[in-house]
Structure 1
Amino acid sequence: MTVLRRRVAVAVVLALAWTFGIADVSAHPTPGSVAFVDLTVDGARIEQDVPIEELERALKQKLWVDGESAADVVRRHSGLLRAYAGEHLRVTAVGGAQPWEVDVVEITGHASDDGPRALFRFEVRAPPGEASASVHLHDDIVAHEVVTHYTTVYLRSEWAAGALSGPPQLVGTIHAGRNDVLITRDGSFWRGFRGVVAMGIEHIATGTDHLMFLFALLLAAPMTAHRGRWSARRETRDTLVTLARIVSAFTFGHSATLALSVLGGVALPVTFVEAAIAASILMTALHAFRPIFPRHEATVACVFGLVHGLAFATALTPRDAGRWQAAWTLLGFNTGIELAQLVLLALVAPWLLLLARTRAYQAFRVGGSLTAGVLASGWLIERTVGIPNPTGLALMWIEHHPVLLLLALAFSAIVARASEPVPVPAHDE
């Protein structure tokens, strides 16, 4: 009967507003609330943005004083708002035996076009075994008293489905006649983990600058330096050891700063990080052309890996998801990065080693280092000066034809090796 009465009340209020102009709905629409739900590895994070004037109507008391900022209003009434919000938001699993534990972790105030607002942040923890279940969101923070109020609910991310980014999905609308929305889920912890691993793989596969950095490092691996020049080729075994050291050092570097960024909040300005990445590619390209740091490639790879790790972290945006989810996200994303690097190494290294045993490798190394240097210079100009990348068309072509480039490398290695003169065995006279 309660739901029926509320629906009747909503209908009556809207009819009166339309007929007598009491609320002048069309000219002065009532500001609504919006809620964003992030379903995490152990529960949920919810952000709900509520107009302060609607909170006043729900609480039946004055909160905001003319001239006072929204932040001051929230700070002055923090205890009242925290207790009130905690009583009017619940989450339960479909078929679950008990409500999930809800904590109001933060309330902040901010200005908006429709007046001052309060942003509530909730942390929700699921009972054991329910973290991947479909859930009911019971939310009547304003609607239990204000029958004209609407709250639009969006699902912003979902660990169990492997959806940690992308546009928010509309779940439903909460109002006086309906204070419950169902968020249907069809996932699991491992599906979520696989989704994060896929994110890491995709980040490397589509990150042309990271791939170019690795390529420039690999170019010099089969060579040894003498008097400031690349003069001799390493044996295959020594080359493989060098490659393993370089990739391991780069992995250690980017893993360290990725962990510090995701778990510890360490960050540098994005423009600086992106420019530093371009500079790292340019330096490794110059090294592949002429030795700059011979026998120290692994150390340099580790140092530059620290910078690349900060860039990797920008792809995660965990939205304050909690330590457990941040840790699992970090592990999965980093695993994806390493898998992508290993696949790249497995695809490129055999042809690079074959080509390195031919006289054509010097020309290939010089051409590859110059190409990487030109592309790095384009990125550096774009990221420091702010003008369009002068190598944009070449980059676009490279990004759209990775398979063709790999086939060209394989074909070149095979032809170069087949063209090598066959040594004539010596004969005893």
Structure 2
Amino acid sequence: MMKRLLFALLLCCVLTPAAAHKPSDSYLSIDVQSERVTGQWDIALRDLDYAIGLDQDGDGKLTWDEIRARHAAIAAYALERLQLKADNGACRITVGEQLIDDHTDGAYSVLRFQASCPAPLTALTIGYRLFADLDPQHKGLLRLMHDGVTTTAIFDPSHAEQRLSLSAPDQLQQFSAYVRDGVWHIWIGYDHILFLLSLLLPAVLLAAPADNLRGAFIDVLKVVTAFTLAHSLTLTLASLSLISLPSRLVESAIAASVIVAAVNNVYPLFRGRRPWAAFGFGLIHGFGFASVLVDLGLPKGALLASLFGFNLGVEIGQLCIVALFLPLAFLLRRTWFYRRLLTGGSVVIALVALVWFVERAFDVQAQSIGL
């Protein structure tokens, strides 16, 4: 039973789509002035192409003419899935300018709109259902501004409608939303999980020759602490826009870190320095985590709370993975199965990560935007 659980844990991570990139997000910015609302909605072109088909000639490339020809369809598709309501009735939304902008993970359609509400707003109820029928993992990240105060929220299928007070934003609700998103981000961040598991696989063999869990726990604690400190550092610096690296470089380096960590289990490269390796590569992984908050463009006042909540969520999600993995690995450490899993599993992880690296570094199978 234990063997099956541990095998399933690795299998779930390995047998994932090769393009383990930043999750699908859109960025919704709303400014409320009395009964008038102005907004901007940034939606990834790759997601829109999948939903409504933007690539008219089927050549795998999107041109400005193809996107412009579908502006009406983009606006109709998006606004059918967005509702704004005051306490005394719905707000009428009209389409404004449509542009293209670059985010850390590619090109986005920028849809600007206005809305008029029945009366001056004291609260705004937002219904968000973009891609709900196509991608249950999609999230909408909201920045709502009113009288100099910024409110944030995260929409997903289980939180598709939210009522936001304009006079007294619910700080705890905003914080908990980013904690949840941090947990979810690490759980679906297969490259981050495989990197961590590759470093943890040998822990029960190297640090626990005797029949006790303490040595393995200390070794795991060193690795996880080093990884946490490193990615927390670069997550903070990148989110505050103090350091910036190209997304393609970051994503390629993350894939390379998974390869190196997995190869180390077959041919030792670190030789007792796994915590240092976790720290060094953790610096790169932090830039990957930061992309969620960087693209939202929050002011520093709202960013700090969101940053802390998101990072806390990442750590909670990470600890859940470790808590599941370590006892199973310790119980199986002396079996033939575990030693084969250490070698064979590491080889499979390295091959999967190699596919990720080629896709990311050389833009294989990715859409190119010829604007």
For the aligned pair, the TM-score class normalised by the smaller chain equals: 0.5 to 0.7
Q: Name the amino acid aligned to 1:37.
A: I
2:123 to 131, 134, 139: 134
Q: Which residue does 2:185 correspond to in 1?
A: 203
Cα deviation, 1:253-294, whole Å, max 9, x if unaligned, reads 000000000113311111110110010000000011121102
* Amino acid in the other structure paired with 1:157: R
Deviation, 1:236, is 2.7
Change (3 A) 1:183 1:315: closer
1:161 Cα deviation from its structure 2 partner: 6.5
Q: CA–CA distance in 2 between the matches of 1:320 and 1:165?
A: 19
TM-superposition CA deviations, 1:62-118 (whole Å, max 9, x none)? xxxxxxxxxxxxxxxxxxxxxxxxxxxxxxxx9xxxxxxxxxxxxxxx9979xxxxx
Deviation at 1:196, TM superposition (A): 0.6
CA contact (8 A) 1:273 1:307 kept: yes
Shift of the 134–283 alpha-carbon distance from structure 1 to 2, 3 Å rule, reads same
What's the CA shift string for 1:189-227, capped at 9, x where partnerless?
Answer: 1011100111101111111111111111111212339xx
Matched AA of 1:256: L
**What's the offset of the Cα at 1:358?**
2.7
CA distance in structure 1 between the partners assigned to 2:193 and 2:40 by the alignment: 40
1:37 has 2:37 as partner? no
Q: Does 2:194 correspond to 1:212? A: yes
Could you tell me which residue of structure 2 aligns to residue 321 of structure 1? 298
From 260, 263, 267, the counterpart of 1:283: 260
Contact 2:142 2:153 in 1 (8 A): no
> Does residue 304 in structure 1 map to residue 281 in structure 2?
yes
Q: Is this contact kept in 2: 1:160–1:191, CA < 8 A?
A: no
Which of 176, 179, 195 is 1:194 aligned to?
176
The structure with higher relative contact order (CA 8 Å, sep 6+) is 2
Tell me if the contact between 1:204 and 1:210 (Cα under 8 Å) persists in the aligned partners. yes
SS in 2 for 1:157: strand
**CA shift digits 1:303-362 (9 cap, x unpaired):** 100000000011223643221211111100000000000111111111011111334321
Match of 1:123 in 2: none
Give per-residue Cα distances to partners, 1:144-169, cap 9 Å, x unaligned: xxxxxxxxxxx953475632799xx9
Q: Which whole-Å CA distance do the structure 2 matches of 1:183 and 1:237 have between them?
A: 47
SS in 2 for 1:321: coil
Partner of 1:273: 250
Q: How does 1:3-152 map to 2 (within 5 A)?
A: 36-37=29-30, 134=123
Query: What value does the CA root-mean-square deviation take over the aligned residues?
Result: 4.0
Query: How far is 1:377 from its partner?
Result: 0.8
Q: Which has the larger radius of gyration?
A: 1
* Inter-partner Cα distance in structure 2 for 1:312 and 1:240: 26
Instruction: Letter of the 1:162 partner, please give it.
Output: A
Matches within 5 A, 1:337-356: 337-356=314-333
TM-fit CA distance, 1:374: 1.1
Q: Among residues 326, 336, 340, which one is paired with 1:363 in the alignment? A: 340
Residue 146 of structure 2 is aligned to residue 157 of structure 1: no
Assess if the C-alpha contact under 8 Å between 1:261 and 1:267 holds in 2: yes
In the superposition, relative to structure 1, how do residues 38 and 299 fare at CA in structure 2: closer, same or farther (>3 Å)? farther
Report the CA distance shift for 1:385/1:319 in structure 2 as closer, same or farther (over 3 A).
Answer: closer
For 2:341 and 2:307, the matched residues in 1 are separated by 37
> What is the percentage of aligned positions where both structures have the same residue?
32
State the aligned residue count: 240
Contact 2:123 2:164 in 1 (8 A): yes
More strand per residue: 2
Change (3 A) 1:46 1:298: farther
CA separation in 1, counterparts of 2:255 and 2:200? 17
TM-score (norm 1): 0.49
Where structure 2 has 5 or more consecutive residues not aligned to the other structure, the ranges are 1-27, 42-86, 88-96, 101-120, 125-140, 145-149, 367-371
SS in 2 for 1:311: helix
Helix, strand or coil: the match of 2:143? strand
Aligned-pair CA distance for 1:386: 2.3
